Structure 1
């Protein structure tokens, strides 16, 4: 380890994703950097799970003391190297704690990076609409115009495959799709897809590419209980016995049994009273989410109504929870064509604000939005969107957005803005895809300390890194994070993700 560094594992936490409800383990390592006599070299810090080993070496007169303490079965390997006369002490401590995943609205160091990474671009996809992520972090993406298919992108893969529909072939047969919109995959791997122009919901069982119509009449729109009219997004209840559908042109939310067949009647559970901006009506409902862990209510985006409603299924009216009904705007309290919506276990909402080209977070019981991705201006850079539609989170709380106008899928990694492990507020595992060394170069001044993923962090003269989730052994060099020191004048902290 370069002259003047100290490394310590400050905490090891078990974390839970408040949306996906999965558990991962995070180890936090701090490395103290001296601002004098720092050679231009590469220091590598690694964490494993079987052995604790500490090595110290010098090239000139030096005194080195190493203490290693382990209180769990986790492992740490630390290498210390000096190039001049100095005294170095390295202490390694491993502990185990259990921490509930932090609330992004109350934990001050919880942020998403400002720049996104394109994981699918226009060479593979066209007009991407909705996105769903299952418990294995597999992505399912609807592509409505040229491709008219559903794509599947496996975890860490770079190429998506078609799993429903026929690419560049629009139709109404059981193997074709016509403007696929919403997508949802249940715990058995059964996939549900809504079709805007076929006015139906298709069900795909056990990886089959042959759809079964469970709601609506094929290619026949209408307002009867057995019909749909331009359905948008969909969601399932926790029992997976019922599917809820944003029946857009009918301004209502419909519920059908997941074992239903074409022609069966559904039930109106919200709206259905014509177009309007009152608490008894909906105005082009689009996004739809049901978070049963904290609420039995539906959360609905009104695309033309520029608002979000909370509605108990079957109730005669709902409640406006953000946005001004019927009024479009770009302030923190207004929306302009909201589409996709997700909630976490704290009832915080994440909304794709389509015409404002941004992703808004609304803390529970708060009508004021916080922009967590996008700038509010249309663009095609790493920090901008062009009409985002769908939003989803993986088990690490990285955010994925279907960037409709740019014909791409963007990934925005979750990060931290400050560190206080003793308070248990640093509970997010790192983004393994970022662990390739090249995008961890530390720049030469405090103002330029920046990762290529685009987030600045300061923390009292420390470099900070965190280990990869041990289950991600197929990622870049299991549990290894490389830090390249490119300049000696380092007086800041970077949270590497």
Structure 2
């Protein structure tokens, strides 16, 4: 609101000349004029209102012999509120279904027969360190650091198989937990060994050393192994008992385990070999059925399973058949990678598909960069480069992700 007061006072004295604006007055004269102004004031008021986005006050006063006073006030208030909510959803596309899952078909040999013999399983930790079981004649577990060219034996005694706590006899599966504790299935000793803090002396946590059997405290030819995400339990492929066993990772020799798959007849599991289990992706077990030439999906607690790759009991080399599958891995999309041992190749099955795509090997045995000879194990590093234990060629092959 703006209020303007204008006061105009005219004082005329006949006997005295009119004083111009330049005439100087004393303080007493100014007081007299002021008193006269108070008598003859005729007020005039003007009001205006302006609204804008600012608040300002302007005041000015002018006094002369003809006195004029102007007071101007501008007041405005603006309230502005902006509210915005954005919801963003990102949908990931399975690269297998778009044809973007491709690896170089020519492998790079990272370990050869000058260092290793018949390599079996392979595990890669979060630092891209490789752990490789060497069945015979080495009978050890190798460790190959990232970008290294020479491996070190960290469990077992090279070329000396046995059943002591420092020896192994045809080691098969290997797994390393986040604490660096390593677990190894010792096939012909019918046990699983645990190595703590880099020790080369194993502790038997499952099975009875050199005592095969089918009781809950025994194993018979254990193959590949895995741990659950809590690292509280280890799952063991008890091959000749046609079952999957679960033990506490803190068990000791002779403790009873729990049957979590198979164990009834060989109709469901027939000498299983490989195992994948990751509850954050799927609550089911995925098992390679070596003599069943198939892959089985088994829900824990169920009495039977579902065949998801291959035809049970039928060997073959086309895209829907397998021949003695061994190693197995799945990704977060449930795309499945199967080492098809007797077809000398690696097959990729996109999620929910029973048609395999050959991503390594040619289906014919060979020792060239593009061929394999009885491969057994498979693993992926953090960049999805693929590593295969090429058993018959006594080497480890790396296939770069394209």
TM-score using structure 1 length: 0.62
Of 285, 297, 309 in structure 1, the residue corresponding to residue 284 of structure 2 is 297
Give the aligned partner of residue 34 of structure 2. none
SS in 2 for 1:355: helix
Question: For 1:385-418, what per-residue CA distance to the aligned partner results, in whole angstroms no more than 9, with x for missing partners?
Answer: 0000000000000000000000000000000xxx
Aligned pair in 2 of structure 1 residues 149, 102: CA closer, same or farther (>3 Å)? farther
Q: Work out whether 1:170 is the aligned partner of 2:161.
A: yes
Question: For 1:432-462, what per-residue CA distance to the aligned partner results, in whole angstroms no more than 9, with x for missing partners?
Answer: xxxxxxxxxxxxxxxxxxxxxxxxxxxxxxx
SS in 1 for 2:342: helix
Of 317, 332, 348 in structure 2, the residue corresponding to residue 361 of structure 1 is 348
Give the aligned partner of residue 173 of structure 2. 182
CA distance in 2: counterparts of 1:195 and 1:130, whole angstroms: 12
Aligned pair in 2 of structure 1 residues 275, 109: CA closer, same or farther (>3 Å)? closer
Number of equivalent positions: 314
TM-score using structure 2 length: 0.77
Deviation (angstroms), 1:102: 5.9
Q: 8 Å contact 1:268–1:314 — kept in the other structure? A: no
Question: For 1:267-306, what per-residue CA distance to the aligned partner results, in whole angstroms no more than 9, with x for missing partners?
Answer: 0110001322xxxx20000000112221011100000000
Question: For 1:336-390, what per-residue CA distance to the aligned partner results, in whole angstroms no more than 9, with x for missing partners?
Answer: 0000000000000000000000000001111000001100000000000000000
Give the aligned partner of residue 41 of structure 2. none
Give the aligned partner of residue 430 of structure 1. none
Of 399, 402, 413 in structure 1, the residue corresponding to residue 386 of structure 2 is 399
CA distance in 1: counterparts of 2:182 and 2:277, whole angstroms: 17
Q: 8 Å contact 1:399–1:413 — kept in the other structure? A: yes
CA distance in 1: counterparts of 2:322 and 2:141, whole angstroms: 28
SS in 1 for 2:240: helix
Q: Work out whether 1:199 is the aligned partner of 2:190.
A: yes
Summarize the alignment of residues 13-32 of structure 1 with structure 2, pairs less than 5 Å apart: none
Summarize the alignment of residues 234-245 of structure 1 with structure 2, pairs less than 5 Å apart: 234-245=225-236
The list of structure 1 runs, each at least 4 consecutive aligned residues, that deviate by more than 2 angstroms after superposition, is 98-104, 106-110
Of 294, 306, 311 in structure 1, the residue corresponding to residue 298 of structure 2 is 311
Q: Work out whether 1:136 is the aligned partner of 2:127.
A: yes
Q: Work out whether 1:156 is the aligned partner of 2:147.
A: yes
CA distance in 2: counterparts of 1:129 and 1:193, whole angstroms: 12
Q: 8 Å contact 1:174–1:210 — kept in the other structure? A: yes
Give the aligned partner of residue 322 of structure 2. 335
SS in 1 for 2:154: strand
Give the aligned partner of residue 242 of structure 2. 251
Of 225, 236, 251 in structure 1, the residue corresponding to residue 216 of structure 2 is 225
Q: Which one has a larger percent strand, Structure 1 or Structure 2?
A: 1
Q: 8 Å contact 1:226–1:263 — kept in the other structure? A: yes
Deviation (angstroms), 1:100: 8.1
Deviation (angstroms), 1:99: 8.6
SS in 2 for 1:110: coil
Q: Work out whether 1:268 is the aligned partner of 2:268.
A: no
Unpaired runs of 5+ residues, structure 2, are 1-88
Summarize the alignment of residues 377-396 of structure 1 with structure 2, pairs less than 5 Å apart: 377-396=364-383
Of 111, 118, 133 in structure 2, the residue corresponding to residue 120 of structure 1 is 111
CA distance in 2: counterparts of 1:125 and 1:99, whole angstroms: 45
CA distance in 2: counterparts of 1:225 and 1:330, whole angstroms: 37
Which structure is higher in RCO with an 8 Å CA cutoff and minimum separation 6?
1
Of 302, 308, 314 in structure 2, the residue corresponding to residue 321 of structure 1 is 308
Deviation (angstroms), 1:109: 3.2
Aligned pair in 2 of structure 1 residues 186, 369: CA closer, same or farther (>3 Å)? same
CA distance in 1: counterparts of 2:341 and 2:173, whole angstroms: 16
Deviation (angstroms), 1:313: 1.9
Question: For 1:159-180, what per-residue CA distance to the aligned partner results, in whole angstroms no more than 9, with x for missing partners?
Answer: 0000000000110000000000
Deviation (angstroms), 1:315: 1.5
Q: 8 Å contact 1:288–1:341 — kept in the other structure? A: yes
SS in 1 for 2:274: strand
Give the aligned partner of residue 372 of structure 1. 359
Of 334, 340, 348 in structure 1, the residue corresponding to residue 335 of structure 2 is 348
CA distance in 2: counterparts of 1:294 and 1:149, whole angstroms: 32
Aligned pair in 2 of structure 1 residues 115, 100: CA closer, same or farther (>3 Å)? farther
Deviation (angstroms), 1:207: 0.7
Deviation (angstroms), 1:314: 2.4
Structure 1 or 2, whichever has the larger Rg, is 2
Q: 8 Å contact 1:291–1:345 — kept in the other structure? A: no
